[in-house]
Amino acid sequence: MLSNRRTTMNTASLIRTRRVRMLAAAGTIAITALALTGCEADSTGAASAGDSTSTAAADSELATSVAALEKPLDAYPVPTEPVSDVSGAKGKVFYYIPVTSKSPQFAVTQKTLTAALDSVGATVQVCDGEGTPTAIGACITQGTQAQAAAIITDAIPYGIGQNAFDAAQAAGIPVIISNQVIDDKHPASDTLAYIPAGGSAMQEALAKWITLDSGAAADVLINQGTDGPAPAVFVAAGQAVYDSECPDCTITINEVSSANQSLIPSSTSSALLKNPDITYVESQFQQYLQPTQEGVQQSGVESIKGVTGSVLLGGLQQLQAKNFLYAAAGQAAAFQGWVDADAALRLIAGVELPEYSIPVRLFTQDTIADVTLTEEAELSGEWYGPTDFPEQFSALWGVK
């Protein structure tokens, strides 16, 4: 008998359960019963063999997809259209505002963004968004008052700092919103650009790995961020994979935030105690990994396999040490810095922006031995593909 996947949400006292589609399930049961009756009448067992072949083919396809996700790219998706004049950036200050400095991903992007803009004679001023609308608004306002050449934000939705974003553009300052979903109320313009996030692709990669690893029978707890609308959109992309590939999987959502990370251990432990059948616990972003692991330990629930998204060096070292983590997905944060710089330079020069893509890769205990785990490797971008993308961007900007 087939049963539909249940989805629950636990955030402190809030639990949301997806309604099981009973009529659809009942129809499936009836059809299955008729098919089985037919099989009994057919001594060849052809229908049963067909079902087995179909299942095996699906498993093989999923395994192939997961294997592809575990490999680096042959080439990074660097734009091809050059920027004819980047002189407007020389001597200028660019503001970089991550939603929170607690995320190691933003630290990597900050370093490569700084290197990229240094190559055109510009500097970077960093302002920590601290995960709160007040601090984020203050940072954007600070950049506006400093007459920044451009304001580059990371994982900050437009709505959180709307007034400040509006004021910056009104002052003629270009704004880059990276690692976020596009806000339809504030579409891209001559002063506003969106850089796509790898959040959905990471969630899809983790969902595929968990489905394959569990034999399509996983009970998963996801510590999902609440810093804006994007984290839920990303998780929904992973849930679509479970819907398709793992209908018997159960997914529990525990909402967590950057501003209240101290609450993550207790909420994680509580979710596990309410459902001791959970076997996989996911930290959506690596910044939640340590408190998530603490919560698992506090619960006393055993046989938990940890996974994380937005993985950086520390998480991969933990994966290699086989400390809680069994799989991790990350996006090319080093490449992101050069992409952000390219977008800012194009806005300043009045050049149309290309469609950017940030690569994502899946890492597991079985494949991590082939990855060089050093800060130099992390900053070079070699985990995701060849390391010549800085030279390619420099050529586009006419920089030697």
pLDDT tens-digit map of 181-208: 999 999 999 999 999 999 999 999 999 9
Check pLDDT > 90 for residue 28: no
pLDDT at 1: 34
pLDDT at 43: 38
| Phi and psi, residue 194, nearest 5° | -110, 135
pLDDT at 163: 98
Q: Are 219 and 278 in contact (CB under 8 A)?
A: yes
Environment class of residue 344 by beta-carbon count within 10 Å: exposed (0-12), middle (13-18) or buried (19+)?
Answer: buried
Task: Average the pLDDT over 47-52 and give the result.
Answer: 46
- What are the C-alpha distances in Å from 127 to residues 12, 119, 137, 206, 293? 31, 21, 11, 31, 29
pLDDT at 56: 56
- What are the C-alpha distances in Å from 58 to residues 32, 119, 216, 248, 349? 19, 48, 11, 15, 49
Q: Which amino acid is at 84?
A: S
pLDDT at 59: 78
pLDDT at 258: 86
- pLDDT grade, residue 259 (50/70/90)? confident
pLDDT at 115: 98
Check pLDDT > 60 for residue 319: yes
Query: Cβ of 205: how many Cβ atoms within 10 Å?
Result: 28
Helix (H, G, I), strand (E, B) or coil at 283: strand
Check pLDDT > 90 for residue 16: no
Average pLDDT, the chain: 88
- Helix, strand, coil percent content, the chain, rounded in steps of 5: 50, 15, 35
Q: Are 286 and 104 in contact (CB under 8 A)?
A: yes
Helix (H, G, I), strand (E, B) or coil at 90: coil
pLDDT at 227: 87
Task: Average the pLDDT over 29-52 and give the result.
Answer: 39
pLDDT at 303: 93
Task: Average the pLDDT over 34-42 and give the result.
Answer: 36
- pLDDT grade, residue 316 (50/70/90)? very high
Angle CA 360–279–70, to nearest 5: 20
In order, the DSSP letters of 134-171 are HHHHHHHHHHHHTT-SEEEEES--GGGGHHHHHHHHHT
Q: pTM (2 decimals)?
A: 0.85
pLDDT at 203: 98
pLDDT, tens digit, 9 for 90 and up, residues 217-230:
999 999 999 988 99
pLDDT, tens digit, 9 for 90 and up, residues 123-181:
999 999 999 999 999 999 999 999 999 999 999 999 999 999 999 999 999 999 999 99
Check pLDDT > 90 for residue 47: no
The full set of domains in the chain, from first to last, is 87-196+333-358+385-397 (3.40.50.2300), 200-331 (3.40.50.2300)
pLDDT at 400: 74
pLDDT at 84: 86
CA-CA distance, 378 to 367, in Å (whole number)?
A: 16
pLDDT, tens digit, 9 for 90 and up, residues 369-385:
999 999 999 999 999 99
